[in-house]
Amino acid sequence: MITDKEIIQFIKLKDEQGLRLLYKHYSNSLFGISYRVLNNEAFAEDALQQSFLKIWNNVDQYDSDKSILFTWMSNIVRNTAIDIRRLKSFEKESKTISIEPNVYKGEVVSDDHSKMDIDYLLSKVDEKYSIILEHLYLKGYSQSELAEKLDLPIGTIKTRVKKAIDLLRDHLRGEEKTFLGMFSWITLINILILLLWIYVK
C-alpha cells in the first residue's frame, strides 16, 4: 500500500506517478465534495481539475504536522468549488435542489462495510446529525446559512456538529476495538495450538 508520504514525495519531485496515485486514492472522495457543492457535473469536473493543479503546484505548503493529506486537499477542493459557485452565480438554485447522488450517472462509491456503516449510522439513526455534516462539510454551507435554512439557532447547529463527529469517531473506535478483539482471540488460539503441538511432539 502506497502511503501519503510516498505520494507527496512523488509530487514534490514532479513525477507524474504522484498525480496518478493521488487520483487513484482520492478522486472519488474529492469529486463527491466538488459535485455536492456545485450540483453540476461539468462545473464539478472543472473544480476538481483546478484543485489538482493547485495541489500539484502548492504541495510545499502542505504541513503534515497540522493535518492529514486528505483534509488539506478537501479544503482546496471545497474552496475552489465555492469560488466557482460564486462565479457562476447559481448558488440559490443549487441550494434549493435536493441532491441525491444515486441519480447521478457516476457511481456512488461505498466499497467496504465500514463506509456503509457510517452511512447507516448518520443517515438512519439520526438524520438531524447527518444533515448538518452533509451541508457544512460536503456542500460548503456556512453555519449561519445552515441555521437559516433549517430554521435553527446557530448554537444548536454547533452542538450538532460536535455530536455528529463524536458519533463518527465513536463508531470508528468501535471498529478498531472489534478488530483488536478478534486479533487477540486468533493469537490466543494460535498459541494454544502451538503448545499442543509441542506437547504431542
Least distance to other proteins, CB of residue 22, Å: 10
Among 110, 156, 184, 190, binds other proteins (CB under 8 A): 110
Please give the single-letter amino acid code of residue 113: H
- 159 part of the interface to other proteins, by CB under 8 A: yes
Which residue type is seen at 54?
Answer: K
Shortest Å distance, C-beta 129 to other proteins: 11
**What is the contact mask toward other proteins in residues 8 to 27, using x (rule: CB under 8 A)?**
-xx-xxxxxx-xx--x---x
Cα→Cα distances 90→64, 96, 97, 154, Å: 35, 10, 11, 25
Looking at the Cβ atoms of 144 and 185, the one nearer to other proteins is 144
CA distance 24 to 134: 24
Written as nine digits, the cell of 91 is 448558488
* One residue of 93, 115, 192, 193 binding other proteins per CB under 8 A: 115
What is the rounded distance in angstroms from the CA atom of residue 58 to the CA atom of residue 81?
A: 17
How far, in Å, CA of 125 to CA of 181, rounded?
A: 25
By C-beta, is 91 or 175 nearer to other proteins? 175
- 41 CA to centre of own chain: 19
Q: Does 150 bind other proteins (CB under 8 A)?
A: no
Do residues 76 and 48 touch, judged by C-beta distance below 8 A? no
Residue 51 near residue 76 (C-beta atoms within 8 A): yes
Output the smallest distance, CB 192 to other proteins, in A. 30
Q: Do 18 and 10 contact (CB within 8 A), yes or no?
A: yes
| Cβ atoms within 10 Å, residue 76 | 20
The residue count for binding other proteins (CB under 8 A) is: 65
Residue (49 or 190) nearer to other proteins, CB = 49
List residues near other proteins by CB under 8 A. Answer: 2, 5-6, 9-10, 12-17, 19-20, 23, 27-33, 35-36, 44-45, 48-49, 52-53, 56-57, 67-68, 70-71, 74-75, 101, 104, 106-110, 114-116, 118-119, 122, 133-134, 136-138, 142-143, 158-159, 161-162, 165, 168-169, 172
